[in-house]
Amino acid sequence: MPEDKKTKILIVEDEEVICKAYADELRDEGFAILIAKNGQVGLELALREKPDLILLDILMPVMDGLTMMDQLRQKDLYGKNVPIILLTNLSASEEKIMKAITKDEPAYYLVKSDWNLSAVIEKIKERLARKV
Amino acid sequence: MENREKTTEQLKEDLRKTREELAIQKWGLEKTLGGMKVLVKELIQKGKEIEGAKAKDEALLESIGDGVIAINSEGKIILMNQAAQEMLGWHPENMAGRLVYDVVMIEDEKGNVIPREKRPVYLALAGTTTTTTTTTTTTGPTYVYVRKDKTKFPVAIKVTPTVVDNKIIGAVEVFRDITKEKEIDRAKSEFVSLASHQLKTPPTAIKLLTERLLGGKMDKLTEKQKEYLNDIHSENQRSIELVNALLNVSRIEMGAFTIQLNEKNICAVVQSVLYELKSVIDKKQLKLEEVHPEKSITVPIDEALFRMVLNNLAMNAVNYTAEGGTIHIECKEVNKGETLGEKLFAENSFVVVVSDTGYGIPKQAQDKLFTKFFRADNAREKHTDGTGLGLYIVKSILDNSGGSIWFTSEENKGTTFYVAIPMTGMHAKIGKKELVDI
């Protein structure tokens, strides 16, 4: 399948090894992958390339995931609607996180250490199928 | 004539006698006066001593670092020490006689004013509690005092009614600014959250990579390689579980976790927890017996926490019972006054009984079972991984929510755990965090 026909997924994650694992698996599943190491780069990349779904880590240098999500949601129609899956090791009970989830409506909040690779892929496919 | 006239001699004698008497009386009066002067001197001295003692007492009271407010039965301030005045910003006015409710403004953490009837001072005066304590950072709601200039500070309050002849004649409140303690607690809590996040990063990477290798999308593996990779994956999973358990323990110790209640069909929750464990139970060829009452029972519970409790006990039953054994789970309502599991019930309760035909808990291990990191020797032998924190967390959840847990066990015969929750429901608890699923 030619590159530009593939579904594009943006992975915003500062931990190289973790990023690599998700990227490699998703590529094997036939997705086109974009990578950003922090929220700032992630925001620029998202607005420029308009991926079909974003995997977003929370704790990152320069700009964290919640800030990026918030800014993205306010940019344009694309930013408002693009499905975002928060992938983090923080537990969702932090007040700041709960507020962000309520305001910016990510599709899912997954705690990395609790989710098998294949289960995450399933969730991604599920969400993408819903949009189409 | 002779009787009426006294001779000059007699008159002189009379005069002399009168003078003598007067002299004696004068001497007596002078003595009395002298005695009174001494008495007055002593009284003045005593007065000075009392004043000195009073001044010392006042200085003592004034020097108490905590705020002290004494009120009468109407709530009027009898005494407000310097510390109290300074903390509340009312210094140096004279507070005596003013109504404490007008002088000391109190709110909750969110800024809502606490109504008079709910205030610790009011409750103490009303005699509804022997000592009203809203304590520090870990238990009870957090109260905030509002200063005269409208700035606020978190406060630890203790109010005790003053009782004379069985009547409440007033109350004494002692309070403390706990801004510093709250800061420290917040810092501790943030540190723990951050630390557990950082601790989970490498294991997460290992988890994902082993899953990639085992997933079949990469080069084919030998049987031995698959075996080792599976081992790496499960050992790594233990690390993750340990971090999660420690995070829960920390939140429990700091009293920071929340208990939120919802009315639930509690037997249905039990059934769903067991349903999720079906595959593990079948794998070990264990027989599962479930007994539920005919009618559905609804109890206000925090479902996530209740599931954690049940899951832990059920998994223990699975892990510590040999293949082919039986696990028996029963739900029932027990009324006040009835006995179950050798325990007399003080209130109507919902009980879950988790029973197994497993290895049992040795007598010497039984009273340490709920302590942190404790694992009985036979448990360690049969099932090497296990954090030793599960039962501690389970007991803490139940202790904090008004429930209870106990067990009976015989080595090599089996164990029966009992979990009781009052029919009126778990007790809610305000906290900033939730416990992590383990």
CB contact under 8 A, A91 and B434: yes
8 Å CB contact between B411 and B363: yes
Q: Of B201, B215, B437, which has the smallest distance from its Cβ to A15's Cβ? A: B201
Average pLDDT, chain A: 91
Provide the ipTM.
Answer: 0.91
DSSP A72-122: HHHH-HHHHHS-EEEEESS-TTSHHHHHHHHHH--SEEEEGGGS-HHHHHH
Give residues 285 to 314 of B whose Cβ lies within 8 Å of A. Answer: none
Count of domains in chain B? 4
Instruction: Return the ∠ at Cα B67 (arms to B62 and B70), rounded to 5°.
Output: 85
Distance CA A38, CA A58 (A): 9
Identify the closest residue of chain A to B190 by CA–CA distance.
A94
Residue A125 covered by a domain: no
**Per-residue model confidence (pLDDT) at position B321:** 93
pLDDT above 90 (res B190): no
| CATH number of the structural domain spanning residue B331 | 3.30.565.10
**Per-residue model confidence (pLDDT) at position B254:** 77
Domain stop point among B63, B80, B113: B63
8 Å CB contact between A9 and A55: yes
Regarding whether B296 and B206 lie in a shared domain, the answer is no
Tell me, yes or no, if B247 comes closer than 8 A to chain A by beta carbon.
yes
| CATH number of the structural domain spanning residue A16 | 3.40.50.2300
What the block records as the tokens of B324 is 């082919």
Task: For residue range B302-325, list pLDDT tens digits in order.
Answer: 988 999 999 999 999 999 999 999
Regarding whether B377 and B388 lie in a shared domain, the answer is yes
Angle, nearest 10°, between helix axes A117-131 and A16-28?
60
Collect all residues of chain B within an 8 Å Cβ-Cβ radius of residue A95: 432
Residue A132 covered by a domain: no
| Full residue range of the structural domain in which residue B91 is found | 64-177
Domain stop point among B63, B86, B117: B63
Collect all residues of chain A within an 8 Å Cβ-Cβ radius of residue B203: 113
pLDDT category, B137, cuts 50, 70, 90?
very low
Distance CA A75, CA A78 (A): 8
| Full residue range of the structural domain in which residue A27 is found | 3-116
Average pLDDT, chain B: 88
Residue A62 covered by a domain: yes
**Per-residue model confidence (pLDDT) at position A92:** 75
Candidates B196, B206, B208, B211: best to mutate against A (most CBs of A within 10 A) is B208
**Per-residue model confidence (pLDDT) at position B94:** 78
**Per-residue model confidence (pLDDT) at position B3:** 60
Distance to chain B for A92, nearest Cα, Å: 8
Task: For residue range A92-119, list pLDDT tens digits in order.
Answer: 777 788 889 989 999 999 999 989 999 9
pLDDT above 50 (res A4): yes
Count of domains in chain A? 1
Tell me, yes or no, if B87 comes closer than 8 A to chain A by beta carbon.
no
Collect all residues of chain A within an 8 Å Cβ-Cβ radius of residue B211: 21, 116-118
CB contact under 8 A, A89 and B212: no
